[in-house]
Amino acid sequence: MQSTRNVQPPVFNPITGAIRALAMDAVQQANSGHPGAPMGMAEIAEVLWRHHLRHNPANPKWADRDRFVLSNGHGSMLIYALLHLTGYDLPIEELKRFRQLHSKTPGHPEYGYAPGIETTTGPLGQGITNAVGMALAEKILAAEFNRPGHEMVDHHTYVFLGDGCLMEGISHEACSLAGTWGLGKLVAFYDDNNISIDGHVDGWFTDDTPKRFEAYGWQVIRDVQGHDPVAIEAALQQAKANTAQPTLICCKTIIGAGAPNKQDSHDVHGAPLGAAEIEAARAHIGWNHPPFHIPADVYAAWDARTKGASLEAQWNAAFAAYRAAHPELAAEFERRMAGELPADWDAHVAAVLAKVVDKAETIATRKASQNAIEAYAPRLPELLGGSADLAGSNLTLWSGAKGVSKTSGGNYVYYGVREFGMAAIANGISLHGGLIPYTATFLMFSEYARNALRMAALMKVRQIFVFTHDSIGLGEDGPTHQPVEQTATLRLIPNMDVWRPCDTTESAVAWANAIERKDGPTSLCFSRQNLPFQARTSDQVAAIRKGGYVLSEAPASVNGGKPQAVILATGSEVALAMAAQKTLAEQGVAVRVVSMPSTNVFDRQDAAYKASVLPAGLPRVAVEAGTTDGWYKYVGLEGRVIGIDRFGESAPAGELFKYFGITAEAVVQAVKSVL
């Protein structure tokens, strides 16, 4: 059919037919899914994957492979078909189990399920943003490791995206930065099919997308016929020739191309075609094979294993020459890409902690965080910092920080006011490998980044989120800037470790834990205001890593040193707990103080340890300048929680703590009420 949008229809052939057939068959068998995008992007995929993509199906983790991101992740059967056809360990049985429990082919591409999936996509806009992060990582690592005659980091990042991705605001945040950074090895294919779930997009998406991207500083290739391999090839060549700008290739396509009665409509977007339409489509595209059957000659045409092995072998030979010329750089590159920390890391952390304990500083934990960065970063060249226009407040800069620019690499990223984009870009950086990103904003504005934080936890990526100004202690900026529920809700994200340190020592330990953690992200919550140093034994310093520990036992002079109650606290409220303990001791009440900088880590400890910190039968009181509900799992319904279950006010911090009743006196009264 000839589209009213002047889109040239495909010339069908068995090569692209395989994609269309697998997409419609898998969606039909699952009785759910999105056949439209795979069928509409078959020609684009064929040109890229068969003629340009540098990858090795036998080694999906080859360091210098091109990265491919399907940002329009609902079209997941496209990438599953491509991975299967090109020779990845994704057998046809897994495609038959599309969207079924424990298959490697879930409804949206999920990182860690099928080999070759570079990132989890589905929440629209985040795939392109992850890709910006991958391209940025390539740029930074190339600047650090490449030497004349030895271009060891030299690959492209390719993205497929649709109208939905471009409607999401995060695409603006990320693509604006991609242009500013001059990410010339980033190539995005825009599947311009004029359809979203609700129908033709003319009523809700009329942006001049090419002009938008030109304004970002991208090279834009307009009006490419997305079903014409010759036009697609020419556009790709033009994109790769421009190494100074990222490229957007605007491909005019027909959604569901090949389904004769449903193509070019929302009917083909997110539902099975149905048996009758599939039969008609098979005839229409000339695919005379039963479901899930791919002829041997089609497999042979797609098979990328021999070519991929050759490409990697060439790179390995080049790397051997690189190692001979630059042995230290080669060893460092291998360490970094393997995600391993330096051999002397543990000893270095121990030395840092010893200095912190010796200094015994009373400072804001945001400053303690900066000191930790200053201490750890020189040993960790992979540490890549950044802040959403708050470097001077988050205190994320250190003496060796060098800003990334269009013309240079570096180890610090100025993200501007782009919290969501920042967090999702950093996810892409982490997924690329070779760098450990940390990002920063006020804790309150974790809300802007929330879905990217969730995606980091879902994918179990190594990412560090620095959140400062962690309570009403922010003070005069008022309730818009004062986090109340944020720490609690971050703790609720599965696989997210949240730390809220009370002083310099806990801050240094929290940072070490976050850096060392390979299986998920960490949120570090720091204070604006100064917090007193807490004295500890060496055993107590070691116990910080357990997430919760006895900071101060009941005084021996009161009740024979046997605690009558336990006070739990985090962050700035640990000082209140310590003051309450002293007052209660003077009144003849023996109380244990437990510092719990990370409830998530504490919850993973064995039952015996948790019981040693929180003995059964002892009344408990918790205090934290935030919502109270989460603490009842530690204090029980008979315990008390001192916190704040309403929004804040604008006033100096000290006044606010008194106004909201988050004081040592309130803790004392709470303890007495539970005895």
Positions marked active-site: 419
CB 621 within 8 A of CB 573: no
CA distance 342 to 62: 21
CA distance 573 to 569: 6
CB 89 within 8 A of CB 115: yes
Output the CA angle 350-352-354, nearest 5 degrees.
Answer: 70
Coil, helix or strand at residue 591: strand
Coil, helix or strand at residue 588: coil
CA distance 116 to 615: 48
| Tokens found for residue 50 | 């068969």
H or E element: which one contains 173?
A: helix 169-181
CB 594 within 8 A of CB 633: no
Closest CA to 666 of 641, 649, 638: 641
In sequence order, what are the residues at sequence separation of 6 or more whose Cβ sits closer than 8 angstroms to the Cβ of residue 190? 161, 162, 166, 209, 248, 249, 250, 251
CA distance 614 to 563: 11
CA distance 337 to 435: 8
In sequence order, what are the residues at sequence separation of 6 or more whose Cβ sits closer than 8 angstroms to the Cβ of residue 93? none
CA distance 5 to 9: 11
CA distance 571 to 143: 39
